[in-house]
Structure 1
Amino acid sequence: MKIDTIRKVIGILEVVAPEYKGIGEDELRIWVELAEPYVSESVYGKFYHQALAYLTAHKLSLNVPVKKEEENSTISTSVKDTMNVASFSEGSTSISFNNPSTSSSGGSSSADAEYLLTSYGLQFLDICKRCVLPIAISGMQRM
């Protein structure tokens, strides 16, 4: 991956996801490189850097712990840890989980379910819908 591409993506990340400014440039570069195989420059065109930045921010949100200060204690959790449990009760033990694939997401497929977990994933999906044309099979030839 070109260093110019990485710098552009990190620059966009600093604007759209300022909570990750504290992460070192080397670690951000690794996250960008992890997301890069999922985004094609030829498909996304002028939205390439933006799509790569949003996908990187989405993956960071799912995996990198965010520290929260609450009542004299520091809690470190990632979005992935907090968004899976929808409700919890203790008496007679009841727990339910979020299932983004069953949410009313306006026609999103279960393949897109992971992207519905963060606002960055939703932005990435929006760019995908603008740039990626779905393949439609209209039927079979009669014999």
Structure 2
Amino acid sequence: MRAGTDLLGRLAAASGTYRGRGDGTEIGPFVARMVVTTALSGRAVTIDYEATNDRNGLEHLEHTVLVVGPDGRLELHVACLELPGVVRFTQSSPDQFTAYEGPLVARIQLTLPRPETISYGWWWSRDEAPPREQSRADLRRAG
């Protein structure tokens, strides 16, 4: 597997349910749940992610597919309540994916810092400034 697509193989091998805590500039502290599922004999991984808090309940709901794109780089195809339809994030470094489609300059940071752990962060900017971290969850495999 190419070095750039190593994340796909690592996530495919780490399928399961993850739970953890996070914090966000707009929603504050939250509880996160992520289900990672291997699809198409390891050629794709689906990520179902949600964030909830005691104040507002469900704050973020997302369904994402991770695949190798036509240029050989990984792509995240993200559908969530905050975005208009499915948005493609292209791998810009081993653990970062960027999107310049739509009104927001956005980035997703997806890492597996240790076995059975996932760190998932959303970065964006509403103006001309570079994106900054707006939300991040640190999750550990459940059960």
Instruction: Flag whether TM exceeds 0.5 (same fold).
Output: no
Report the TM-score, using the length of structure 1 for normalisation. Answer: 0.26
Report the TM-score, using the length of structure 2 for normalisation. Answer: 0.26
> Structure 1 or 2: larger helix share?
1
> Structure 1 or 2: larger strand share?
2
Bigger-Rg structure (1/2): 1
